[in-house]
Amino acid sequence: MTSPKTKVASPTEKFFVLIAVCCAAAAMPLTFTGPAVALPAISRSLGGSPIALNWVTNAFMLTFGSSLMAAGALADSFGRRRIFLTGVGCFALFSAGLAFAGDIVLFDILRALQGLGAAAAFSGGMASLAQEFDGTARMRAFSIVGSSFGVGLAFGPIASGLMIDAFGWPSIFLLVVALALLSLGLAAYFLRESRDPDATGLDWPGALSFTLALTLFTYGVLRAPETGWSDLLVIALLAGAALLFLAFGIIERSVKRPMLDLTLFRYPRFVGVQLLAAAPAYAFVVLLILLPVRFVGIEGMSEIAAGRMMIALSAPLLILPVIAGLLTRWFSAATICGGGLLISAAGLFWLSHFAAGSAPQALIGPLLMIGIGISLPWGLMDGLAVSVVPKERAGMATGIFSTTRVAGEGVALAVVSAILSAFIQSKLGAPAGEQASAAAQRLVTGDLAAAASNVPAIGHDALIHGYGDAFSALLWLLTAITTITAIVVFSFLGRGASNDMAEDAAPLLPEEEELRISKA
């Protein structure tokens, strides 16, 4: 496909291309913060089992995260503009369909398709920006896109709460559709086509094995609270996921142009960046989903009040990532990132001391602390992703980083939801009897009434108390994990660039040695 515009883009054209990508970036966080606020209302309207309700969020995050690398490869091969327009168009179409879904199964299927569209839009958009901008202008453009994502995170819950209160839960997808259509129109007119002339197409075996492995793992983790970890199907799902991940590693080491270059993991600083990419998943993103469910479904807040509470958690993302960039003049990236994660850990520990039903204003302090802590590494992560590897591998490093961050969020949410369910079941104890598992799963999805009907011997107050104790125990666990991550990230990122150069001088792989000899 030839480019419709062969001349160099004017500043005005570049500006509108940036606006198009920013609109798509702002719409994406709305697709998981909005349904989190609306989950109790969706449950009342569409019904569904706890597993089906968990897939409301996980279906989107799973397909989004697992498809990013494949979408990037398709963009390089078939055209970045084409993939971006296709992705945004599908994203808008499936988002509109969600507003009219009549049952939970159709809703979950549309969420999965929406994630595929988001992956194509994100990969095509970011790759297109890299072609339109150079040098410091490119860094500023990527920073603006990151800020747009932050705007969606900061104001998504309150905007969703207002729309749910005024028009019902289907209305939360109207804003998403509006932003997507605006992005589609601007990109269709201003964005030029580009592709990688050396691209060899999609690594289909690698893409399929990776996506299927993530799907089996996520389904197994979500099913375990209902049937038990000893259930044969759960064991088969997790074993299948392990085998597919192993197959994926073998495939990527054998293909000529892998979707995932595993040799990058020989750089300790690159490994540190991947841990940093995963950290917000369990220190921040899971709270964007679990807290609105707690506020609305368990504590009985309105959607608007819950949205206001979430601003305290996400508003720091509007300002602090920029400040973090300025702080690099005086502090190393390792210090800023490690310190930020420790602040988040302190906020998580502080939040664990407030039981369900505590005064809302008492939670603002710990929520702000968590948001402040995660905002400091947030502004540095994308730059670090490409700075810790040789320049010629920057594109691959960005794809791996994005996949780690987004796929990690889906996996973390599935795992954390299963852990919360197990903690609740333990807290309910003997009085709940055999129905403790069913009640715990209902509480995780914010359906207090259904949980109470499962265990009529336990009153509402006791259920809320058990949920609150379990939530606190979960926060203690997340505190420990975030603290350990902070220490490891500080240690790995603190290695000097000279160390990485030494790593790069390590013995060559057989194919690299063969290439060196042929050139000689």
pLDDT at position 222 over 90? no
Is pLDDT larger for residue 496 or for residue 244? Answer: 244
pLDDT at position 294 over 70? yes
pLDDT at 504: 46
Most trustworthy range by pLDDT among 7-11, 16-20, 459-463: 16-20
- CATH value of 266-505 in 1.20.1250.20, 1.20.1050.10, 3.90.1150.10, 3.40.50.2000: 1.20.1250.20
* pLDDT confidence band for 2 (50 / 70 / 90): very low
pLDDT at position 186 over 90? yes
pLDDT at position 515 over 60? no
* pLDDT confidence band for 84 (50 / 70 / 90): very high
- Whole-number Å distance between alpha carbons of 240 and 237: 5
pLDDT at 501: 41
SS3 355: coil
pLDDT at position 150 over 60? yes
And the tokens for 417?
């939801």
pLDDT at 394: 53
- Whole-number Å distance between alpha carbons of 171 and 90: 18
And the tokens for 51?
């597993």
Most trustworthy range by pLDDT among 31-35, 76-80, 313-317: 313-317
Alpha helices in 133-203 (DSSP H): 135-167, 172-190
pLDDT at position 66 over 50? yes
Residue 15 neighbours by CB distance under 10 Å:
15
pLDDT at 349: 96
pLDDT at 184: 93
Residue 469 neighbours by CB distance under 10 Å:
17
CA angle 190, 196, 202 (to 5 degrees): 110
- Whole-number Å distance between alpha carbons of 264 and 169: 44
Q: What is the pLDDT of residues 470-485, one digit of tens each?
A: 999 999 999 999 999 9
CA distances from 325 to 31, 127, 139, 373, 379 (A): 28, 23, 11, 14, 7
CA distances from 474 to 51, 415, 424, 439 (A): 20, 11, 10, 18
Q: Per-residue pLDDT averaged across 316-333, rounded?
A: 82
| Pick from 86-100, 132-146, 305-319, 444-458: least confident | 132-146
**Alpha-carbon 71 to chain mean position:** 16
Which residues have C-beta within 8 Å of that of residue 152, sequence separation ≥ 6? 25, 26, 27, 28, 29, 30, 33
pLDDT at position 113 over 90? yes
pLDDT at position 433 over 70? no
Most trustworthy range by pLDDT among 144-158, 215-229, 315-329, 465-479: 465-479
pLDDT at 512: 41
pLDDT at 386: 59
pLDDT at 110: 93
CA distances from 44 to 169, 225, 374 (A): 11, 22, 33
10 Å CB burial of residue 357 (0-12, 13-18, 19+) is: middle
CA distances from 457 to 189, 453, 466 (A): 63, 9, 14
Q: Per-residue pLDDT averaged across 248-270, rounded?
A: 76
Q: Per-residue pLDDT averaged across 456-469, rounded?
A: 83
Is pLDDT larger for residue 348 or for residue 516? Answer: 348
And the tokens for 219?
């389904």
pLDDT at position 9 over 80? no
Residue 6 neighbours by CB distance under 10 Å:
8
Q: Determine the CATH number of domain 11-191.
A: 1.20.1250.20
Most trustworthy range by pLDDT among 10-14, 93-97, 208-212: 93-97
Most trustworthy range by pLDDT among 240-244, 344-348, 455-459: 344-348
- Whole-number Å distance between alpha carbons of 101 and 257: 41
Residue linked to tokens 């420790």: 342
Most trustworthy range by pLDDT among 87-101, 207-221, 457-471: 87-101
Q: What is the pLDDT of residues 25-37, one digit of tens each?
A: 888 888 877 888 8
**DSSP-assigned letter for residue 47:** -
CA distances from 332 to 278, 325, 456 (A): 20, 10, 56
**Alpha-carbon 379 to chain mean position:** 16
Residue 196 neighbours by CB distance under 10 Å:
16
Calculate the average pLDDT of the chain.
81
pLDDT at position 468 over 70? yes
CA distances from 471 to 164, 172, 421, 426 (A): 26, 27, 9, 12
* pLDDT confidence band for 359 (50 / 70 / 90): confident
pLDDT at position 503 over 50? no
pLDDT at position 407 over 60? yes
Q: Per-residue pLDDT averaged across 370-379, rounded?
A: 87
